[in-house]
Structure 1
Amino acid sequence: MVKHIVMWNVRGETSEQKKESAMLVKTAFESLSGKIPGLTKLEVGLDVSAVDYACDVVLYTEFENQELLDAYASHPEHLRVKQIVGDVRIARHQVDYI
């Protein structure tokens, strides 16, 4: 099993705009559930700490193996979501581990 974690900071001049952007990311990734081969777990969380160094959104996923995680990168549904997220993100961080 491979764990894939991604965190983003999103656009927004006000806290309400940032919340809307974060919800857009959350909804977009949650729409992938059941559509990606080998994706066995998917969680999306929004930051509630409000500390200045926190990321706004976190994606936690588990894949059966590295090959299926690699295939996810070019899956059409993932590419659709990636485009949505790209329009609102200002920073992205990623960790993959076994």
Structure 2
Amino acid sequence: MIRHIVMWRVAGESLEQRRQARERVKEAFEALRGRIPGLQQIEVGIDLSAVDYACDVVLVADFESQQALDDYTTHPEHLRVRQELGALRITRHQVDYQRR
């Protein structure tokens, strides 16, 4: 199993705009549940700490294999979400690792 973790900072000039952007990212990625072959689990969390170095949103997803993760990157539903949210996300960090 491969665990895929992605963290983003989102755009917004006001606290309300950033709150809305965080919610949009969360809803869009959670809507992928059950639509991507090999995606076993997906969880999206919004940061509560509000520290200046924290990311705004984190995605934790488990894939049955490296091939399933590779396929996810080009799956039409994933590409649609990435396109839809492109302007909302200003930084992105990622870690993928083998789970035992």
Task: Name the TM tier (shorter chain).
Answer: over 0.9
Q: Which runs of 5+ in 2 are unaligned?
A: none
TM-score scaled by structure 2?
A: 0.96
Q: Distance in 1 between matches of 2:43 and 2:85?
A: 16
What corresponds to 2:8 in structure 1? 8
Shift of residue 85 of structure 1?
A: 2.1
Give 5+ residue unaligned stretches, structure 1.
none
TM norm structure 1: 0.98
**Paired residue total:** 98
Task: Kindly state the Cα deviation for residue 87 of structure 1 after the two structures are TM-superposed.
Answer: 1.7
Q: Which residue of 2 aligns with 1:55?
A: 55
- Aligned-residue sequence identity (percent) comes to 61
In the alignment, is the contact (CA less than 8 A) between 1:40 and 1:62 conserved in 2? yes
Q: How does 1:7-46 map to 2 (within 5 A)?
A: 7-46=7-46
**What is the aligned-residue RMSD (CA, Å)?**
0.5
What's the counterpart of residue 92 of structure 2?
92
